[in-house]
Amino acid sequence: MCGIVGYVGSKPAQSVLVNGLARLEYRGYDSAGIAIMGDDGIGVTRTAGRIADLVSVINSEQGSYAGSVGIGHTRWATHGAPVTKNAHPHQDCSATVAVVHNGIIENYIQLRDELIAQGHTFTSDTDTEVLAHMVERMGDQPLELVVRNIMEKAEGALAIGVVRASDPELVVAARRGSPLVIGLGEDENFLASDIPAILEHTRRIAIVGDDNVVSLRSSGIAITDLAGNPVEPIVREIEWDLESAERGGYDDFMLKEIFEQPTALRDTLAGRIDEHHRIHLPELDLTAREARAIDKVFVVACGTSYHAGLMAKYAIERWTRLPVEIDIASEFRYRDPVLDDRTMVIGMSQSGETADTLAALEYAQAQGAYVVATTNVVDSSMARVADAVLYTRAGPEIGVASTKTFVCQLVLMQLLGLYLGQIRGALDGATIELMAKSVRALPEQVEQLLEHADDIMAMARKYKDVKDVFFLGRGASFPIALEGALKLKEIAYVRAEGYPAGEMKHGPIALIEKGVLVIGVATSSHLHAKTLSNMEEVKARSATLLMVLTEGDIDGQRMADDIAWVPHAPELIAPVTAVIPLQLFAYAISKARGLDVDKPRNLAKTVTVE
Ligand code: F6R
């Protein structure tokens, strides 16, 4: 989730772009850069680090360019480490083109190979650079037409801004999936991935539709579709203040991030399931023989990531028949686990910096295990330690409570289970196809579920004074029960316990009485009838029962006092949608209690102490 800014007008572009990027720094902050159209061609300044580092390079004079047209970018790495050579803007061989890009080009390897074969030389590890060479390849053709052509060839969700030395007064932009808006000014126009970047200059915003191409000149803008037909812009007057604009108009980053889950899932899935429903995780760099040699898997993680790790246990065991152990990272290395060179150890971490998980991976590596890190932060400490890295591509998560990174961890573990099943020959094609299709459907299912977010939150607010909550689930719903309880504890400060539903009768059921709320996660599964029996047990003891149910579940509906419906999915895929009502539940209760959801007391986003 990178940030894009563009400007055409009469002001010094450098300061407009840098100020805009500073407003977007919350979107990504591992490197930044700008390209300014000058009398001697395009001047590019870029660096690893934050916007302050970019400003230092600009102030060092070699980095300062005069001009009133340009593009800028702040990066959150997805392809290639966060180093200067991978910072945007990217250029072609002759340095007459500069491109900024947000999103993922799924077929970039194929495009890059094609360009290399045609004689182009690449200087970065990014997917973006292919775009600059594609523009160069099309010579002097009108830039709008060139960009339309690129959008047809590049697969995936992306937003781009392009300048070319031969068009010194022009910025061309386009989008598919990734956000992009145009700011309309007097004799000046702006481009941005997000409104806050340009709000100090204009409140008149034109929304760019999917597969639309925009040319920006100081005199005006023109939008076309990919066939070149003119598109009438939809112009809106923005009333948000700057602070709420940074949160995309949402009250809090957590809510914004809950609503970003469809995009985060799409980005995480990009390029990992092909049209024949085969799973691709080339990052693992495993031959079939090496994959078959693995005889045990460990998952180590903390907090929310641990809950995603539990899900990995269910998926990997079911689909590969490999035994999987799951450990809280702070316990792992002190219990002397049995590891050797046939063991795969998966460290799961949003930040890639959690001290306990990092130490666990270092320990596993010292024992000779094959160490895989799953993280959201490119080049984080865990990514550097591991033998292989699987990235979730959720973009920066700012709310302390993990939401979008959790669902991305879940799908990545589903993909890993399917991939290992596929490469080890443990899974038949029909199962892989069914699961792959179901995983692919998730972003849209989550989108549809979020359309009912207000109803779920209204229902949740009825329970704002609740004191004791049990979250119960069985099988793959159990990690979701744990996660629901953790969310409620951390942001609403409510005593909540996640428990395997079948285990209640061995003790905790003694706590059930009138006034206790039980939240049963009972989506379709082979344990569904048993889960419902466990729900009967708590209901018989006067608990109030809120249930997360698969649409159409009449038996569940009969016993529940309140229901959050989720769409149909196979049992190991369903946890991704089942957690969403629980995120919204915790959020609504926290807000109803007047708490700070983004910065709950006593908690830090990244825990780098043991
Ligand atoms: C809860 C939460 C924490 C983290 C935990 C591990 O919402 O965010 O429980 O999951 O501190 O952090 P990472 O995933 O960065 O290793």
Contact of 211 with 34, CB cutoff 8 Å = no
Q: Does the CB atom of residue 305 touch ligand 1 within 6 A?
A: yes
pLDDT digits (tens, 9 = 90+) for 141-169: 999 999 999 999 999 889 999 999 999 99
Amino acid at 282: P
Would 256-440 and 450-592 be classified into the same CATH topology? yes
| Residue ID of nearest Cα to ligand 1 atom 13 | 349
Q: Does the CB atom of residue 261 touch ligand 1 within 6 A?
A: no
Report CA 150 to chain centroid distance, whole Å: 25
Give distance in angstroms: CA of 120 to centre of ligand 1: 43
Give distance in angstroms: CA of 433 to centre of ligand 1: 32
Q: Domains of the chain: which residue ranges?
A: 3-245, 256-440, 450-592
Three-state DSSP class for residue 472? strand
Q: Does the CB atom of residue 349 touch ligand 1 within 6 A?
A: yes
The number of beta carbons lying within 10 Å of the beta carbon of residue 40 is 8
Is the whole model's pTM more than 0.85, yes or no? no
Q: Does the CB atom of residue 354 touch ligand 1 within 6 A?
A: yes
| Residue ID of nearest Cα to ligand 1 atom 4 | 303
| Residue ID of nearest Cα to ligand 1 atom 9 | 303
Q: Does the CB atom of residue 304 touch ligand 1 within 6 A?
A: yes
The confidence score (pLDDT) of residue 330 equals 92
The confidence score (pLDDT) of residue 1 equals 66
Return the HEC string of 491-514: HHCCEEEEEEHHHHHHCHHHHCCC
- Ligand 1 atom with least separation from CA of 400: 8
**408 among known catalytic residues:** no
Best mutation site among 304, 391, 413, 490 for ligand 1, i.e. most ligand atoms within 8 A of its Cβ? Answer: 304
Give distance in angstroms: CA of 471 to centre of ligand 1: 19
The confidence score (pLDDT) of residue 412 equals 97
Give distance in angstroms: CA of 350 to centre of ligand 1: 7
| Residue ID of nearest Cα to ligand 1 atom 10 | 304
Please state, in angstroms and rounded to a whole number, the distance separating the CA atoms of residues 32 and 54. Answer: 6
The confidence score (pLDDT) of residue 187 equals 96
The confidence score (pLDDT) of residue 124 equals 96
The confidence score (pLDDT) of residue 27 equals 65
Q: Does the CB atom of residue 414 touch ligand 1 within 6 A?
A: no
Q: Does the CB atom of residue 402 touch ligand 1 within 6 A?
A: yes
Q: Which residues of the chain have pLDDT under 50?
A: none
Structurally, at CATH architecture level, domain 256-440 sits in: 3-Layer(aba) Sandwich (3.40)
Domain 3-245: homologous superfamily in CATH: Aminohydrolase, N-terminal nucleophile (Ntn) domain (3.60.20.10)
The confidence score (pLDDT) of residue 30 equals 84
The confidence score (pLDDT) of residue 609 equals 67
| Kind and range of the H or E run holding 211 | none
**605 among known catalytic residues:** yes
Please state, in angstroms and rounded to a whole number, the distance separating the CA atoms of residues 566 and 578. Answer: 6
In terms of DSSP H, where are the helices of 300-403?
A: 303-320, 329-332, 355-366, 381-385
The confidence score (pLDDT) of residue 514 equals 95
Class assignment of domain 450-592? Answer: alpha beta
| Residue ID of nearest Cα to ligand 1 atom 11 | 303
Q: Which residue in the list 85, 153, 462, 605 is annotated as catalytic?
A: 605
The confidence score (pLDDT) of residue 81 equals 85
